Structure 1
Amino acid sequence: MPRLTRFLTCLLGLLLLAATPASAQDMPPWGTGDSKGEDLSIYLVTFGPGDDVASWWGHGSLVVEDQRLKQSRLYNYGMFSFDERMLMRYAMGRLEFWVDDASPAGTFRFYRSLNRDVRLQELNLSPEQRVELAKALAVNVLPENRNYLYQHYADNCVTRLRDGIDRVLGGTFQQAMSGPGRMTLREHTRRYTAVGPPMSVLLDFLMNDEIDKPITRWQEAFLPDELERQVAEMQVVGPDGQKHPLVARAFSVYTATGRPALPEQPPKYAPVLLLMGLVFGGGAVGLALWGRRSGGRAPRVLLGLQNLLVGLVFGIPGFALFIMWLFTDHTVTYHNENLFQANPLTLLAIPFGVQLMLGSKKAPGRMRLLWWVLAGVGVLGLVLKVLPPFDQDNWRLIGLILPISLGMAGAFTRARVQAPAEVRPSSEPVAPSLKASGS
């Protein structure tokens, strides 16, 4: 219930922050040319991570303030529609975001109510650069300009801020951050999702080697914390011809309490996942051996239940991944090597597992064929790793899923599970075991 309450609070707050779309008539003074550069201040705002999956990454915005005219607005590129088609658009990779403006003070109060950090960096820009950036934001928020197609790694609410700052700096920001990044996009993803291990593993499963390539620091700035770090390091040439920090001053409006620190490195799940795979796969063989020795109902039901769980946990994501590759614009799911380990065939473990629990005589044979196919495809995915094109960082998923497939194949082969024998009525008379003798 507390998590539902927080989600509803977040949803209501975002809807309240979504102001009526700006128009030419209500342009701020920096959009109409009434603001002077020396009166403007521009701040990069970094919001810390929140409780739900969408907010684990944090958030960012830009604030423009005219100190002479006492006006300020916060520009937020993270707006999207909470309507009935939102989930479908997201699933298809076609979710539109837009930029909106709102009251900075009201926005800060909202994030404080969610116990999320609010940190500001005042940008040390020239008066001309302040006017240019502020006017670009005012124009960008107009209805005809505000929408964009969201892409998590390449075009999101933070990369739009990064690109705007770079434009007024004449491209020097991107040039300064063209060096190699600290880690890959996958490693950053695993680092930020470590707060929820099951979701972290699921996202790791769904994404292909597109996020395993070496990246630059510029590309790392799809994350609010990384952009904040890079802006703090950036040096710009001032009117005196000398280099100065891009950040004139930095301060916190609110510091969250009780939140775990973001790990600097991705979690080391591989040994745990391998152990889980070995235990689950070995458990299947153990149940089959037990069933062969005892001939009882319990091991058969437990093994059927185990197959049902495997079908649900791996079959549904495998099927979803296959559909996302074929029918959506999520390029990060295309040609995913994890389909060797779990795919639509894995879903068959659900009905076959139910049949096994109910005592179907055909279920063991069906399970044997299914798991030999899945185990063979899984081994093929492992063997292909020796070839350069198969460079996806999915060893953790192989370690988890392949031992389960091999264990299931072994369970229905060397120690075959027998369904209960049918008892048929016989019309033949039962022969007496003893004959009476007479004199």
Structure 2
Amino acid sequence: MKRKWIVLLWIVGMIQLVFPVETYSDIRSDAESTFQNDSIQFSLLTCAPGNEIYELFGHTAIRYQNFSRGIDLVFNYGMFSFNTPHFIYRFVKGETDYQLGIMPYPYFESEYALRGSSVYQQVLNLTSSEKQTLLGLLQENYLPENRTYRYNYFYDNCTTRARDQIEKSIQGKVIYPSGESDKSFRGIVHEFTAHSPWDEFGIDLCLGAEADAPIDNRGQMFAPFYMRRFAGEAYIQGADGKTRPLVLREEKIVDVAPEVEPAFALTPMGAGSLFLLLNVLIGFWQWKKKRVFWGWDVILYAAQGIAGCIIAFLFFVSSHPTVGSNWLLILFNPIPLFYLPFMIYRDIKHKKDLYHLVNMVYLTLFMLLILLLPQKFNLTVLPLALGLLVNAESHVLVLNKK
């Protein structure tokens, strides 16, 4: 029922994106005014994470209020549609387009309240001229030819876009506190996926060694709650050398208990361990019966090859950041899928297959080198690799026993 209300509110919000004729003219007239009566306030909004994978890291938006004219709007750089043609393919390829949207604050607040996500507001300490500049920048961004942008999760997202517009409006320089030097993209992602092990496992399979490199405080601001913390401690240094805090005050404007969905009972490590056990049992059965269960080979190597095709696509084709340095391509690549017909033919004909001996050596070397490679692997990779190794070894033992 709650989701139906969210959808309804979202539809109404979308209507607001179509009708901003009145609203848009209001903010345009504000941008053209001299701001003699400064009743304008801009705030950075940070929304708590939700349960969907695209909600796990929270969200950032800019709130614009004109108290004298009764205007209260949210500028949201996180608008996208699943109905975009070829959305999944474009997302995997790294060609997802997001938009800047405008919606009345009450609808924005209701959506996150019903979702169980609290919202924090940081009122920005801007001068009248800086507010006018920021409003003009947002107005320009909302023009039809400017509102769509190529989304990049780590380097150009809803949080970095909001930060950049705020920085451009300031007459001076924003000085942020130093971040922790040992932070990385993967490390920050893990902080927000700790309670979603399957999402974390899927993301880890896609990210490469680049995601483990240390990032500075600006790189860490891709995450909304990191941006909130840095903004709260930042100050503005004017041309005259005077300083002032970037944030006047912070308050929680939506205070709700998070909606916790029951976690799936089987974790990736549990599934990986069962996979290893299943390969041990099948391998023992094959060794006892002196025959290869080729049906299991179809399932096993087809799954490994399909996973390899996805990782190879990300590695060689996708423009997503950090996926082009993924050492998991050693373990998951398309070769098993391409070789599968020849493997099954040899299984059925009870012929020796050099592939399994080579695979044994290959997998053994991979597990020996895993600690030396410049990439942090999800621990579930170990039982998966061991399961593949056990299967290859059982083939060699059965054919040698025959």
- Taking structure 1 as the reference length, the TM-score comes to 0.76
- Residues 47/340 of structure 1: CA separation in 2 closer, same or farther (3 Å cut): same
Match of 1:391 among 374, 380, 391: 374
Give the secondary structure class of the aligned counterpart of 2:153: coil
Deviates more, 1:71-80 or 1:371-380: 371-380
- Asked if residue 361 in structure 1 is aligned to residue 348 in structure 2, the reply is yes
- Residues 405/233 of structure 1: CA separation in 2 closer, same or farther (3 Å cut): same
Instruction: Verify the 8 A CA contact 1:77 1:160 in the aligned structure 2.
Output: yes
Map 1:44-63 to 2 at 5 A.
44-63=44-63
Deviation at 1:20, TM superposition (A): 5.2
Deviation at 1:361, TM superposition (A): 2.3
Map 1:23-102 to 2 at 5 A.
27-33=27-33, 35-36=35-36, 38-81=38-81, 82-102=83-103
Give the secondary structure class of the aligned counterpart of 2:195: coil
In structure 2, the partner of 1:422 is none
- Asked if residue 192 in structure 1 is aligned to residue 192 in structure 2, the reply is yes
In structure 2, the partner of 1:228 is 228
In structure 2, the partner of 1:119 is 120
Question: CA–CA distance in 1 between the matches of 2:7 and 2:394?
Answer: 47
Deviation at 1:99, TM superposition (A): 0.8
- Residues 39/371 of structure 1: CA separation in 2 closer, same or farther (3 Å cut): farther
Give the secondary structure class of the aligned counterpart of 1:159: helix
Instruction: Verify the 8 A CA contact 1:21 1:100 in the aligned structure 2.
Output: no
- Residues 68/21 of structure 1: CA separation in 2 closer, same or farther (3 Å cut): closer
Question: CA–CA distance in 1 between the matches of 2:359 and 2:256?
Answer: 47
Instruction: Verify the 8 A CA contact 2:117 2:258 in the aligned structure 1.
Output: no
Deviation at 1:284, TM superposition (A): 2.4
Question: CA–CA distance in 2 between the matches of 1:57 and 1:409?
Answer: 40
Instruction: Verify the 8 A CA contact 2:42 2:64 in the aligned structure 1.
Output: yes
Instruction: Verify the 8 A CA contact 1:288 1:416 in the aligned structure 2.
Output: no
Map 1:142-157 to 2 at 5 A.
142-157=143-158
In structure 1, the partner of 2:165 is 164
- Taking structure 2 as the reference length, the TM-score comes to 0.83
In structure 2, the partner of 1:257 is 257
- Asked if residue 339 in structure 1 is aligned to residue 326 in structure 2, the reply is no
In structure 1, the partner of 2:288 is 293
Instruction: Verify the 8 A CA contact 2:301 2:336 in the aligned structure 1.
Output: yes
Letter paired with 1:122: V
Deviation at 1:35, TM superposition (A): 3.9
Q: Which has the larger radius of gyration?
A: 1
Question: CA–CA distance in 1 between the matches of 2:241 and 2:198?
Answer: 52
Letter paired with 1:332: T
The superposition leaves residues 99-146 of structure 1 with CA deviations (integer Å, 9 ceiling, x where unpaired) of 121111111112212221122111122222222212211221111221
The superposition leaves residues 357-410 of structure 1 with CA deviations (integer Å, 9 ceiling, x where unpaired) of xx9623x657x54444444444444565687xx412226365233212221111
Question: CA–CA distance in 1 between the matches of 2:38 and 2:20?
Answer: 28
Deviates more, 1:409-418 or 1:321-330: 409-418
Aligned Cα root-mean-square deviation (Å): 3.8
Letter paired with 1:361: I
Letter paired with 1:401: L
**How many residues are paired up?**
395
Higher relative contact order (CA 8 A, sep 6+): 2
Letter paired with 2:18: A
In structure 1, the partner of 2:264 is none
Letter paired with 1:409: A
Question: CA–CA distance in 2 between the matches of 1:24 and 1:118?
Answer: 25
Deviation at 1:4, TM superposition (A): 8.3
Give the secondary structure class of the aligned counterpart of 1:51: coil
Map 1:202-281 to 2 at 5 A.
202-236=202-236, 243-259=243-259, 273=269, 280-281=275-276
In structure 1, the partner of 2:314 is 324
- Residues 383/239 of structure 1: CA separation in 2 closer, same or farther (3 Å cut): closer
- Residues 206/331 of structure 1: CA separation in 2 closer, same or farther (3 Å cut): same
Deviation at 1:19, TM superposition (A): 3.5
Instruction: Verify the 8 A CA contact 2:9 2:107 in the aligned structure 1.
Output: no
Q: Percent identity?
A: 22
In structure 2, the partner of 1:423 is none
Instruction: Verify the 8 A CA contact 1:341 1:381 in the aligned structure 2.
Output: yes
Deviates more, 1:197-206 or 1:178-187: 178-187
Question: CA–CA distance in 2 between the matches of 1:286 and 1:71?
Answer: 67
Instruction: Verify the 8 A CA contact 2:154 2:321 in the aligned structure 1.
Output: no
The superposition leaves residues 31-69 of structure 1 with CA deviations (integer Å, 9 ceiling, x where unpaired) of 223544722111111111112111111111001111222
Give the secondary structure class of the aligned counterpart of 1:119: strand
